[in-house]
Amino acid sequence: MPTVMTNEQRQSEQSGEGLLLIHETRHLGVGDISRYRITIDKQKLTDQKIDIDQLFIKIKNNENALLNPVYLTGPYSFYCDIRPYNYNEDKPFKGKEIIPFVENLKPNEKFKSTLLFNENSNIKGTSIYSWTIDIISQLAVLTFPKLKYSIKVGTSKRSTRMRSKKRKVDSVEGIKCEEWDTKSLWNLPPKYPDKPVHLVIITHGIFSNVGCDMLYMKDKIEEKTYPMDDPINPNIIVRGCMDNMGNSARGIHHIGRRVGKYVVKILDELNKTYNVNKISFIGHSLGGPTQSMAVHYAMMKRPDLFHPETGVKPINFIALASPFIGVIGDYPLYISLPLDVGTFGLTGRDLNLRYTPLASKDGLYIDDPKYQNQENPKLILEILPQLPVRKLFERFIHRTAYANIVHDGIVPLRTAALLYLDWSSLSKVKKIQKKEAAKTEAAAKAGTKRSDVDTENTDLPSETSSTPQAARTKSVGEIPKEDMDKKAAVQWAMPQALIHSRKNKKFGRAQVTDVSSDSESETTPPTEQSYEDEKFVAPKEASTMLSALSVLTAPVPSQEYIKDPSSRKDLIVHDRVYHPEDLPEPHYNDRSAISRVLYPNENVNRIQERIARTWQETMDWRKVLVKIQPDSHNNIIVRRRFVNLYGNVAVSHMVEEHFGVEACEKLRSSLSFQKLRRNSTPEHLSNFDSKQRVDPNANNIYRSSPYPIFETNRDDTYSRLNTSDSEQYELKQIQLVKTDSLQSLKNIIKMGLEAESSGANALNMLNCQHDVLNNIDRNVDDINVYNRMANNNISQLKGYKKYYSSPSIQDDMSNAITYDKYYSPGKRKVHAYDINYPYSIDLSPSEDIKEPMSRELQNRIPRYAQHRHKLEFDFSSPVDDIDSSINKALDEISCISHKLRSIARETSYELDCQLYRLSCTEDAIQKVSCKVQRNTGNLDSII
């Protein structure tokens, strides 16, 4: 790169045309994004005599303007935003500079803005300035169109407007432009390649995509986890299946099976390079049932992937506004009927709880004989949590469901929250909020009036404050008197059956049982009468049509909202962990057949209740309700960074609670405890009762909740304790802790005694080994004696051989052969004693030597050496027979000696092992004794 401008560049700069620094043209399809990071070293520009305070940028949609009205198959537009280096959605953004973005850059339209060189874009402590630019395709339905755009960055407006094809990008030092496409953004490596990896799978909803719509959530997870320190860094990899873009209407089974195949494939691929040992799933809308089907499919096809010892550990199962129990119970008839006939394909029928025959059953059922007698349901939403996959869902450390409490008619609150909630408390909170709002409004009005009086009547005496008018003015917290409610007056005269509609009853049936009140105990479920007495108000249900239209008509956040987090009023209104024991009794278990005729929704309600209970009867669920502005269904995942920023409260909460520093620390501690629990099976762990829960406000280190992350954040409003019973409850918990401590101490003492007994056994074994070694030594001495005798026998054999070879002996043998031929036909073997020579050689040890030898050593001696053998040979070749016999004896003696040396080596090694085990046992006994002393001190302090 040149250090100074060329003459041509200098002339263009002086003529006012400016320099064209960046010019790119790209095509984007459905789910595609282009991300640019422009980095400029201003000092280097100054060195090249380029003195500027801002750059000009222009992004143009190069599609034909005739595509503007075509929306259903498109839209053929782009979303664009520009973010300075120091911008963060969760921190205040100083200055009057605006954050430029465009919601829909339509065909043949241009988006123009400036890149300012100021403190917001400056990398602190350097002369470098940086900006990030996102260009996102808005295509949602069709997969084949490609939208063309162009981006230009120059030092003047004129440089970005010039259309000459001959105009080239000016080469200037100090300017760097990095670009990422969809594939590169969704395939980033982990921070630590050599350490275990936590894989996060993100799944999109219907008519959506992973690449663009779930990008904000992916960015936030990576921004949160990447800077963490090494010991607690989860080493995240975020991936998403892009095979279902444009095909999300083909049924939950079809799209879930595709995601399941992707999960299996990506795990196998990543494990070739990294060590993936944890996995999490995050799904939005239809992505919740889809990822459930993916887990179901992967478990059926590849159960080894989730093996408790060798497979990946399931960590988070998160669903945001997901219809786990279908939507038919909350949709009006004019919407549910089109779903039945296939407006949204098989997916619409699945969500409407309709069975579709002749569909594929791949990955739904298991052939294990253990589950052959299990009754398999037909509806896909009911199949997902069935055994044996339910056991895998139970192993997830966190199961969290986020739901919109208002403005979401696409996936209403009941189905997104799995039916069962503390509806009564929500109603109370709503009333409290209304009262607080009324108080605030009254205070504001009263304050205004008082300030007017004070300014106009400053000379009034102080006694005026005692007048009734002044008293009313001073009571700023008083709720103003309301006019007569005409609707309430009409209802007073109407039959009560018409006033209390069945709308309230469907929420009352889903009320959890652990609501504490003055009139009811903790275990007594509230009755319908109690709701009527408390004037239970059902939450307002959002309109499905208005929710669908809000995608086009929803308000866009203001610059103040984007730049100042304190101005945002979106909030978490409910955050609680629901346990299986919180479920009420089933309402539709024993219902008469005639009820199906009298109540048309009887069958639907029964199915929804059955699905909801299957998900929750054996699993804890954390349910988080959020209050977000319209288009809340898309806002809850921040589908577009600034257009849907109202949902940042939900995304930030999800990221912080599941991937934040505190969450990672607690997850690490939890996994360490689980590992310790698997490796040790003392009595106090095997008898551990996970259902015993301690008051979360007591800060007790013995808390046994399987949700350590969530239990500490539990709201006091939803505490199970009554104020009057809190002291008694604390005493019970203290007594429980004392009992636990005593039991633990007893178990530790028992372990110490067992260790001492093991040490004694080890000493006995060591003594036995010493005895064995002594026996071996004696046996070795015996063998040496045996070897000496064998050598003597060999020497005798050699003497006999020499004697036998003399001429006189040869004559005697020839006479014997002649005699043999005269008296007996055939060839005859003659023993050595037949010629009165001592050729019978005894190769076995003598009886006095054989006695002290151990039985084991006798078994190792060759069989022929344990018996008396007489050497036989043919008179035709006596010399050869004697040589072979001598060699054979020598070979056997060598084999015996080799085996004895092996025995000695093995015994010596075993002795060393025993000595090492003894030293380890002594160390273990010392450690146990230290623990016993320490626990004795702890017990004394507790008592």
Tell me how far apart the alpha carbons of residues 815 and 81 are, in angstroms, rounded to a whole number.
Answer: 125
**Amino acid letter at 139?**
L
Please give the Cα distance from 282 to 217 (Å, whole number): 10
Burial class from Cβ neighbours inside 10 Å (0-12, 13-18, 19+) for residue 758 reads middle
Helices within 524-660 (DSSP H only): 528-533, 544-553, 559-563, 595-598, 602-616, 632-635, 648-659
Which SS3 state, helix, strand or coil, does residue 624 take?
strand
Placement of tokens 């400053």 in the chain: 458
Render 136-157 in DSSP notation, one character per residue: EE---S-SS--EEEEEEEESSH
CA angle 234/239/241 to nearest 5° reads 155
Tokens of 183: 């594939």
Check whether the bond before 388 is cis (ω within 30° of 0).
yes
CB-based burial of residue 857 (10 Å sphere; 0-12 exposed, 13-18 middle, 19+ buried)?
buried
- What's at 93, amino acid-wise? F
SS3 178: strand
Tally of CB atoms within 10 A around 487: 7
How remote is the C-alpha of 915 from its chain's centroid?
45
Annotated catalytic residues are 285
Angle at 400 between CA 397 and CA 405, to 5 degrees: 165
For the chain, give me the number of helices (H) and strands (E)?
Answer: 33, 16
Provide the 3-class DSSP secondary structure of residue 314.
strand
Residue of 420, 357, 405 lying closest to 580 (CA atoms): 420
Terminal Cα-to-Cα distance of the chain (whole angstroms): 78
Q: Are 103 and 79 in contact (CB under 8 A)?
A: yes
Q: What is the side-by-side order of every strand in the sheet holding 147-154?
A: 20-28, 147-154, 54-61, 110-116
> Rounded to whole angstroms, how far apart are CA atoms 325 and 306?
26
- Residue matched to tokens 């105009």: 167
CB-based contact 532:609 (threshold 8 Å): no
**Which has the closest alpha carbon to 20: 177, 161, 132, 176?**
161
38, β-bridge pairs: 131, 177
* The token pair that represents 833 in the structure block: 């004693």
The residue among 29, 36, 72 whose CA lies nearest residue 55 is 36
CB-neighbour burial class of residue 808 (10 A; exposed 0-12, middle 13-18, buried 19+): exposed
Rounded Cα distance, 909 and 911, in Å: 5
Q: How many CA atoms lie within 13 A of 83 on its CB side?
A: 18
The phi, psi pair for 878, rounded to 5°, reads -70, -30
CA distance 41 to 21: 13
CB 562, CB 642: distance < 8 Å: yes
Name the amino acid, one letter, at 497.
A
Nearest 5°: CA angle at 608, between 605 and 612? 140
The C-alpha angle with vertex 811 and arms to 808 and 814, in degrees rounded to 5, equals 155
Mapping DSSP to helix (H, G, I), strand (E, B) and coil, where does residue 696 land? Answer: helix
The single residue listed with the structure tokens 């060329």 is 6
Using the structure block, give the residue that is written with the tokens 């059922």.
365
